Amino acid sequence: MAASLQNKTVLVVGRGSGLARAVVDAAVAAGARAVAASRDRSTLEMEYKGTDVITKRVDLTDEDSIAALAEDLGSVDHVVSVASARARGKISELKPEAIVLSFHTKVVGPIMLAKHFAPKMPKDGSFVLFSGVAALEPDPGYLGVAATNGSVNTVVRSLAVELAPIRVNAISPGDIDTGAWDSLGEQKKAEMFARLSKKNPSRRVGTTEDIAEAVVFAMTNTFMTGVSLAVDGGQPLV
């Protein structure tokens, strides 16, 4: 059964652009009250100026910061964590600090979000975390990313059991045009996207809207929990 986001409160942790912004916009379009939180609240305030989106500060590497946000907001209906700190690089280049930061941001931080927000949430609430295609597609230079994303897939299954009936799911994106490649310039970006598009059965790069729609689905489908939902164009298949 699908639930409604009308008049529900959705907390989205992440930057004020890219995937996080698309999730906030989709939640608002579905009737939710949105709260955006990140370490850089001043940037969030600029990004959401002129909107009804509430901005807050939180640091996913600091449990006290997470606890303070939970105390400040009180009960919310859904929590979405989009934040990441990717530990990219081949094994010869990887630094322990980068791997630890990646885990703190995508694994430990979201677990602490669950610890402090779940006791305040309604039984029909949910958490949506972010995994990624690297967990299923081994690729040199992405070991740290793959390990982190694979851990997220495990975390959502465990949390789904422990927090039941609150639901816990993950979204696992493939190659998505988040704006991160804009610095390449229009031509080089188009060439890269053409190469990436040949690597998946959908024959295109995903959009932030593709991911945001999946997040809304995860929040509103009341019979789905413990799932890592692949929105990757079938990329691991080829």
Q: For 22-76, write each residue's pLDDT tens digit.
A: 999 999 999 999 999 999 999 999 999 999 999 999 999 999 999 999 999 999 9
φ, ψ dihedrals at 180, nearest 5°? -65, -25
Q: How far apart are CA 153 and CA 91, in angstroms?
A: 22
- CB contact at 8 A, 19 and 178: yes
pTM for the structure as a whole: 0.95
Contact 212, 32 (CB under 8 A): no
pLDDT at 116: 98
Task: Determine the pLDDT at residue 238.
Answer: 85
- Which parts of the chain sit beneath pLDDT 70? 1
Specify the pLDDT at position 180.
83
